[in-house]
Amino acid sequence: MYGNDFSAEDAPGGGLLGEVEAAEAALREAAARGRRGGAPGPDEDLEAYFTEVVDADQKIEPRDWMPEAYRKTLIRQIAQHAHSEIIGMQPEGNWISRAPSLKRKAILLAKVQDEAGHGLYLYAAAETLGISRDELVELLLNGRQKYSSIFNYPTLTWADVGAIGWLVDGAAIVNQVPLCRCSYGPYARAMIRVCKEESFHQRQGYEILHTLAHGTGEQKAMAQDALDRWWYPSLAMFGPPDTDSTHSAQSMAWKIKRFSNDELRQRFVDMCVQQAEILGLTIPDPELRWNESRQAYDFTQPDYDELMRVIKGQGPCNRQRMEHRRRAHADGAWVREAAAAYAAKRVEQKEKVAA
Amino acid sequence: MRARRGLSHTHVGSLHAPDAELALRNARDLYTRRQEGVSIWVVPASAITASSPDEKDAFFDPAADKVYRHPTFYDVPDGVAHL
């Protein structure tokens, strides 16, 4: 069991997917429970009303009053999440044309298409907070908003596609499952959808590595090399250690965030150890061992200085990723313009017929 | 979106499109990648009129004091069948 705010009995499917289902059930249950009379009265303190809704594990909806800082925090977080999905299409997209079989190619295409879909769900959720998708895209393109640092690492071999599915999507799921219980309704609902789809991504990655790890010596070495390169960057996906995390306390109080960075990182490590054993691969950490008293694995922390460098733009692929995104956006401009012109022409024709 | 024949349409999400025809296609691509639906309706957001949460109490007040609209309001004598 991975969470401490809900019990194992709530998780019908078991594992992370079960937690997503439990979050969905809790969302419906909280909605059915209602709260006292409904909306705030004319003289009521809006902030107290907001706090009451959040404390009662009810959802805040787009037209409810909310503190300005809550709105800003959510816009930033949801937008960065959306950008990550969109930029995240690149490292794997790199292998679509070189996938080793038609089956793998079809699967990878579907997965990358899913990532685009996740980006769109999230942009739509952000738009309910009063910002447009065009503005958010602009914030990404001019570098004022970031995306997950993990996508600034290159995919050098086919095994990297497997490692991304297993580790990167795995870490993303561990991060995102608690977000299914986020206090902001549209975000929580988008996350439920995303998490259900992500579990296919994680399994397909694991299967790729499993196949390689049980293939020729060369293939196994390729799988091990991918694990060696992706392990620490995946651990860094959970963000800086709790002692250095700036946004955590307030986000916890608002129930945007449910667990600390270090708690989630630990949960991820504890899950991966057994999965790596079944793969027959070695996690590149000589300090990794079971700690009986903590009932968790001790492990080496990722290099947070490297994380900060990558976030600041000094990762191996930062420039390439942004250039590609800018070029794709510019190259797609004529499609958007043509569709808008066609729609305008159709409206004009209809008006003529009506006149 | 109608998930299966026999169920009512339910809201699944939002998207961008220049016109209704493309909105349908985009909705298919975005919301039915796993056969989630057999029918889609699209409506421009600007065409939706919504009640305001600020007036929620007053707006829905007329229904608040009519418990007699629910069958459980009525006492049924013991032994009455088919009621």
Phi, psi torsion values for A150, nearest 5 degrees = -60, -30
Strand partners, A291: A296
The SS3 call for residue A348 is: helix
CA distance B69 to chain A (A): 19
Q: Does the pLDDT of residue B26 top 90, yes or no?
A: yes
Calpha distance A206→A212 (Å, rounded): 10
Residue in B15, B33, B57 closest to A114 by CB: B33
pLDDT for A36 equals 46
Choose the mutation target among B1, B11, B19, B65 for the interface with A, i.e. most A CBs under 10 Å. Answer: B19
Work out the number of other CB atoms within 10 angstroms of the CB of residue A29: 11
Q: Which of B11, B12, B15, B16 is the best mutation test for A, with the most CBs of A within 10 A?
A: B16
The H or E element that residue A162 is part of is: helix A158-163
Instruction: Name every residue in B having a CB less than 8 A away from some CB of A.
Output: 13-19, 22, 29-30, 33-34, 50, 52-57, 60
What are the residues whose beta carbons fall under 8 Å from the beta carbon of A233, sequence distance 6 or more?
A149, A150, A153, A302
Q: What is the ipTM of this complex?
A: 0.83
List the single residue in A63, A120, A197 with the smallest CB-CB distance to B15: A120
Please say whether the beta carbons of B2 and B39 come within 8 A. Answer: yes
In angstroms, how far is CA A71 from the centroid of its own chain?
19
DSSP state of A203: H
Q: What is the Cα–Cα distance from B59 to A1, expressed in whole angstroms?
A: 44
Question: A333 phi and psi, to 5 degrees?
Answer: -60, -40
- Asked if A110 lies within 8 A of B33 by C-beta distance, the reply is yes
Write out the two tokens for A237: 């996906």
- Binding-face residues of A in 243-302 toward B, CB within 8 A: none
Ordered per-residue pLDDT tens for chain A, 355 residues: 233 333 333 334 457 778 888 888 887 777 777 654 455 665 678 888 899 999 998 999 998 899 999 999 999 999 999 999 999 999 999 999 999 999 999 999 999 999 999 999 999 999 999 999 999 999 999 999 999 999 999 999 999 999 999 999 999 999 999 999 999 999 999 999 999 998 889 999 999 999 999 999 999 999 999 999 999 999 999 999 988 877 678 889 999 998 999 999 999 999 999 999 999 999 999 999 999 999 999 999 999 999 999 999 999 999 999 999 999 999 999 999 999 999 999 999 988 888 7
Name the token pair of B75.
């006492």
User: Rounded to an integer, what distance in angstroms lies between the CA atom of residue A216 and that of residue A319?
Assistant: 36
pLDDT computed for residue B52 by the predictor: 75
Q: Which of B13, B34, B56 sits opposite A121 (nearest CB)?
A: B13
Q: How many C-beta neighbours within 10 Å does residue A125 have?
A: 26
**Structural contact between residues B26 and B16, judged by C-beta atoms closer than 8 angstroms:** yes
Answer whether A124 sits within 8 Å of B15, measured CB to CB.
yes
Residue A18 pLDDT: 82
| The pLDDT value given to residue B43 | 97
Percent of chain B with pLDDT over 90: 70
Reference A235, options A303, A180, A173, A287; nearest CA is: A303
Torsional sign, CA A94, A97, A98, A102: positive
